[in-house]
Amino acid sequence: MPVGATAIAHHRHKRQGATRHPRRRSARSPDDRLLLYGLHTVANALQNPRRVKHRLWVTANARGRLGDAVIAEAGVPDETVARPADLDRLVGRDAVHQGAVLECEPLVPLQLADLAGRSPVLVLDQVTDPHNVGAIMRSAVALGGAALITTGRHSPAQTGVLAKAASGALDLIDHIEVSNLARALEALEREGYRTIGLDGDGPEPLEASVGPEPVALVLGAEGKGLRAKTRQTCTALARIDLPGPIASLNVSNAAALALYIAIRAGGRA
């Protein structure tokens, strides 16, 4: 079954510029366009109506896996390249592009008002590694997280690396960007959210901190953890109790586990 072919009307599509060799481009061109790569990443970007798409390069094999109907529905000019190595000229030899590269615009972040009380929400306090943020997006989509909130500064930009780590989740999760995290947490609390900062020394386990109200789980960067101002602003601080001899987790793993605990403890599963 073609990747992302569900609920797409099948109709014929004329290939444009078959077996052409794309010219070398940077991962971010001067007009701020992005090059996204990987089958799941490209499939979800093609099907996202909010995503402005410019050009698609695919191998014959990747075209078959994406499906002509998905490509046609996106309305994006496409070119078939002769070999996967031809796409290395676009995204580099180390990029696992799986035969698909899409040139597009970055998604415009949403506003806090767009949350409308949905829960649970993940909030990142200066988590800057795009691999971690991409993995957090993927876990949030898989586990039913409502949105991801990051700051405009000290957060990774939308790039092919982040999108590939998210494995398509970049186009499936609502991403909200704020200028001041403390003020955003205060705004969430006014809207009825319980903002819980994840801290290894928190006074109670996370499952005991989650109630029936909407919840925002706040995670800090690896090593530094939550900033002092963030800790002071959160409604509560809580810990994740781990039974093994290692007492901490990678931030992306901690985010996934925190989401799972919060959903189960809040009766949202």
Residue type at 159 in one-letter notation: T
- Which residue reads 């609920």 in tokens? 7
The torsion angles phi and psi of 80, rounded to 5 degrees, stand at -95, 125
Separation between Cα atoms, residue 166 and residue 144, nearest integer Å = 15
> What does the block give as tokens for 31?
């007009």
Residue 69: exposure state from Cβ atoms within 10 A (0-12, 13-18, ≥19): middle
Eight-state DSSP code of residue 28: B
Eight-state DSSP code of residue 244: S
Give 62-130 as a DSSP string.
HHHHH-HHHHHHHT--EEEES-THHHHHHH-TT---TTEEEEEPPPPPB-GGGGTT-S-EEEEES---H
User: Higher model confidence: residue 164 or residue 27?
Assistant: 164
**CATH topology identical between 1-106 and 112-265:** no
Cis peptide bond upstream of 120, omega within 30: yes
H/E run at residue 258: helix 251-265
Eight-state DSSP code of residue 42: H
Domain ranges for the chain: 1-106, 112-265
Contact between 234 and 197 under an 8 Å Cβ cutoff? The reply is yes
Residue 187: exposure state from Cβ atoms within 10 A (0-12, 13-18, ≥19): middle
User: Higher model confidence: residue 27 or residue 197?
Assistant: 197
pTM here is 0.84
Contact between 193 and 215 under an 8 Å Cβ cutoff? The reply is yes
* Fold observed for domain 1-106: 60s Ribosomal Protein L30; Chain: A; (3.30.1330)
Question: What average pLDDT does this structure show over 202-225?
Answer: 92
pLDDT score, position 25: 45
* Fold observed for domain 112-265: Alpha/beta knot (3.40.1280)
Separation between Cα atoms, residue 76 and residue 104, nearest integer Å = 10
Taking all residues of the chain, what is their mean pLDDT, rounded to a whole number? 87
pLDDT score, position 20: 45
Q: Is the pLDDT of residue 98 over 80?
A: yes
pLDDT score, position 268: 59
Who contacts 85 (Cβ-Cβ below 8 Å, separation ≥6)? none
- 154 pLDDT band, cuts 50/70/90, is confident
Taking residue 203's Cβ as centre, other Cβ atoms within 10 Å add up to 11
The 3-state DSSP composition of the chain as helix, strand, coil percent (nearest 5) reads 35, 20, 45
Separation between Cα atoms, residue 172 and residue 134, nearest integer Å = 12
**Bridge partner residues of 103 (DSSP):** 35, 55
